Structure 1
Amino acid sequence: MKFPIPKDLNDFPYAASTIQTFGGNVTDSSAVMLSLYSASTNWDDSANLPTASACSMNGIGGIYLDSARQVRQNDISSYIADQKAAGATEGALCIRNTTGKTVTFSSRTGSWTPGLFLK
């Protein structure tokens, strides 16, 4: 997942940064925890798709999912602060599922687009 880092981030007071997704575990009713990692931003949605190597080992959070398909807010404040300090114009993260369960998320073209929220 890739998203722009707002240009004038210093102009807006905020205390937390979250990534909002819509998803759930579709295998069964058990709860699972997926891991969020920072990722390279040198890819696009057409000719240069991301590969597994774009996903770093730098853990930045997690996503708790149960069988309810619902909105999930996950804190990535430290990651956004690091990106801001580095002067980055984009951020990217990957979601790793090592649970053996099938999970689904709405996509940018789905009914609930993931988003970065600063609040």
Structure 2
Amino acid sequence: MTGKPRRVVVTSPRTAAARRPRHPLTREIDEQTRLGEVYMRSLVRTQFRLALFVCTLLACLVGGLPLLFLLVPDLRSAHLLGLPLPWVVLAGLIYPAFIAGAWLYVWQAERNERDFADLVERQ
């Protein structure tokens, strides 16, 4: 003998036992199992947080304008292209902000859904 311990292979007598088939996660979601509900609730929660974030951002922007005009009185009397600045801001610059907010929401929501689909496919 050379002094090296001999290797011993240990195997289970149940290696030939039938294994439970692994279901894809999409099946769990389609069949509305508890696991599928957890994954869907997670996606819905993520989308809801995104919606709250975008709405809060736009509300602060739009709601902050009267406060801005109140705190900086010179802005109320300023004119841009012959029109009072508050009217220009409220009539012309708010709508692009809403469009940007909508674009941000759709972009992030699609990204969340892609991440969710990647997660589901990996499982």
Fold conserved between structures, TM > 0.5: no
Which TM-score bucket, shorter chain as reference? under 0.3
Larger Rg: 2
Of Structure 1 and Structure 2, the greater helix share is in 2
Of Structure 1 and Structure 2, the greater strand share is in 1
TM-score by length of 1: 0.24
Q: Which has the higher contact order (CA 8 A, sep 6+)?
A: 1
TM-score by length of 2: 0.23
